[in-house]
């Protein structure tokens, strides 16, 4: 009878203990969710060291590649140049590979942690992420030896509010050859020794991939004339479907690719040539800056320029003649005996080029007074 009398008290004590533990756990859990939920709304800040393969750079930002790994900041060598990425390009995080692994260059210490602003040797500012307000630029006093680098891969037509950038930056970084740090969409590398070239078989004639259809643009108007005389397979929104994973394999079936730029500016030669054409072994038919601008980046016999023909009909006739003449068509690939095109680029490659430029030699101090007049 004594033991049965103690049972209710013991049971109440156990229930009370259980409730206290549950309430404590719930408080900790909701505090965690609140803190991390708020943190996830901000741009992630961490030091970047990763082993991932580079995603390609194109008109769209690089896709995220998972959760980056934090580097061991405390073990960082004191002689490494620290580069602060003020924002992720287009606000989308990605993994960045060590420059020594990516391009065989000495490494830099890349970070997006703005609390390290005062110790950063250079700050890279991506134009499209700050151009809507001058208040998005760094507002803290600049350390005396720190360099600000203006980074932009878009054309002047797609680069609003350039006047915000006047008198702020020390170095320019873009596809323009006269940039302080030249970061093109692609480039040619000299092979260690000349080699034989075998052009892969092609079953189709002309392709074009287009996501931004503007009826009044020069490239669409030129296409409308060209299609009257030549079959062109158009992929993209409102046209033939093309999955991302089938992009290169599909274009590899074609002899020619319409590498028509959306705007015409000096040196603005994008992935339409480097990736859609050269990587797929299609001869690019280019519409963009003048021929001499293309020839500064690639051999003159590697592409066909629309400006070389009096009309779209003449261009169509020329492409049809090349289609029938294998020897003449293959002459557009002879440059591959001595050169290799690099068209699979990524954001990390551009940042590593900045790293290398800062390491090569001491940079003489300068300020870009009127960036808005230079980049046009």
Read off the DSSP letter of residue 203. Answer: -
145: nearest Cα among 172, 126, 118, 127:
118
Residue 202's pLDDT is what? 97
Residue 364's pLDDT is what? 76
Pair 225, 183: CB distance under 8 Å? no
Torsion, CA 154, CA 156, CA 159, CA 164, rounded to 10: 130
Helices 312-324 & 218-226, crossing angle to 10 degrees?
60
Q: Is 82 left (phi over 0), alpha (psi -120 to 50) or beta?
A: beta
Cα distance from N-terminal residue to C-terminal residue, the chain: 97
For residue 30, how many C-alpha atoms fall within 13 Å in the half-sphere facing its CB? 5
295 is catalytic: no
The reported pTM is 0.78
Cα–Cα distance, 122 to 110 (Å, whole number): 10
Residue 22's pLDDT is what? 55
Residue 21's pLDDT is what? 52
Question: 19 pairs with which residues across the strands?
Answer: none
Read off the DSSP letter of residue 158. Answer: G
Q: Is 283 left (phi over 0), alpha (psi -120 to 50) or beta?
A: beta
Cα–Cα distance, 175 to 349 (Å, whole number): 13
Cα distances (Å, whole numbers) of residue 153 to 39, 58, 133, 156, 355: 29, 9, 19, 9, 17
Residue 38's pLDDT is what? 35
Pair 301, 331: CB distance under 8 Å? yes
Q: How many helices (H) and strands (E) does the chain have?
A: 10, 13
Pair 180, 156: CB distance under 8 Å? no
Residue 23's pLDDT is what? 52
- In the structure encoding, which two tokens stand for residue 207, read together? 């392709």
Catalytic residue among 42, 154, 271, 344: 154
- In the structure encoding, which two tokens stand for residue 97, read together? 């590979």
For the chain (length 376 residues), average pLDDT per consecutive 10? 44 50 48 36 30 38 33 46 96 89 93 96 97 94 94 96 93 96 96 94 97 92 98 94 95 98 96 97 98 97 98 98 97 97 92 94 81 91
Cα–Cα distance, 42 to 307 (Å, whole number): 48
Cα–Cα distance, 14 to 205 (Å, whole number): 80
User: What CATH number does the domain located at 188-342 have?
Assistant: 3.40.50.11660
Cα–Cα distance, 177 to 273 (Å, whole number): 17
Residue 63's pLDDT is what? 35
Cα–Cα distance, 131 to 117 (Å, whole number): 20
Residue 234's pLDDT is what? 98
Cα–Cα distance, 71 to 363 (Å, whole number): 28
């Amino acid at each position: 009878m004594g033991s049965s009398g103690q049972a209710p008290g013991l049971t109440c004590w156990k229930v009370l203990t259980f409730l206290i533990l549950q309430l404590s756990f719930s408080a900790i859990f909701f505090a965690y969710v609140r803190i991390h939920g708020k943190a996830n709304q901000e741009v992630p800040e961490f030091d970047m060291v990763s082993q991932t393969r580079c995603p390609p750079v194109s008109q769209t930002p690089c896709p995220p590649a998972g959760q980056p790994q934090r580097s061991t900041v405390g073990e960082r060598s004191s002689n490494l140049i620290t580069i602060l990425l003020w924002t992720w390009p287009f606000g989308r995080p990605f993994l960045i590979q060590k420059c020594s692994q990516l391009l065989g260059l000495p490494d830099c210490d890349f970070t997006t942690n703005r609390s390290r602003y005062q110790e950063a040797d250079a700050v890279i500012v991506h134009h499209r992420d700050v151009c809507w307000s001058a208040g998005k630029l760094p507002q803290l006093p600049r350390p005396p030896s720190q360099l600000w680098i203006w980074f932009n891969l878009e054309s002047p037509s797609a680069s609003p509010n350039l006047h915000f950038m006047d008198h702020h930056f020390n170095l320019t970084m873009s596809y323009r050859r006269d940039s302080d740090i030249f970061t093109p969409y692609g480039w040619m590398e000299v092979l260690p020794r000349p080699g034989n070239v075998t052009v892969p078989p092609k079953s189709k004639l002309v392709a074009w991939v287009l996501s931004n259809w503007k009826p009044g643009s020069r490239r669409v108007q030129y296409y409308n004339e060209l299609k009257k005389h030549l079959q062109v397979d158009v992929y993209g929104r409102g046209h033939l479907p093309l999955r991302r994973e089938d992009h290169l394999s599909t274009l590899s079936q074609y002899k020619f690719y319409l590498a028509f730029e959306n705007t015409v500016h000096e040196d603005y030669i994008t992935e339409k040539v480097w990736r859609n054409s050269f990587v797929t072994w299609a001869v690019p038919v280019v519409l963009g800056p003048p021929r001499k601008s293309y020839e500064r980046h690639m051999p003159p016999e590697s592409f066909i320029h629309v400006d070389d023909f009096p009309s779209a009909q003449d261009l169509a006739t020329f492409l049809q003649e090349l289609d029938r003449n294998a020897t003449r068509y293959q002459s557009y690939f002879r440059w591959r005996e001595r050169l290799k095109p690099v068209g699979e680029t990524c954001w990390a490659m551009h940042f590593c080029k900045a790293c290398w430029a800062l390491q090569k030699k001491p940079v003489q101090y300068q300020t870009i007074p009127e960036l808005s007049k230079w980049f046009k």
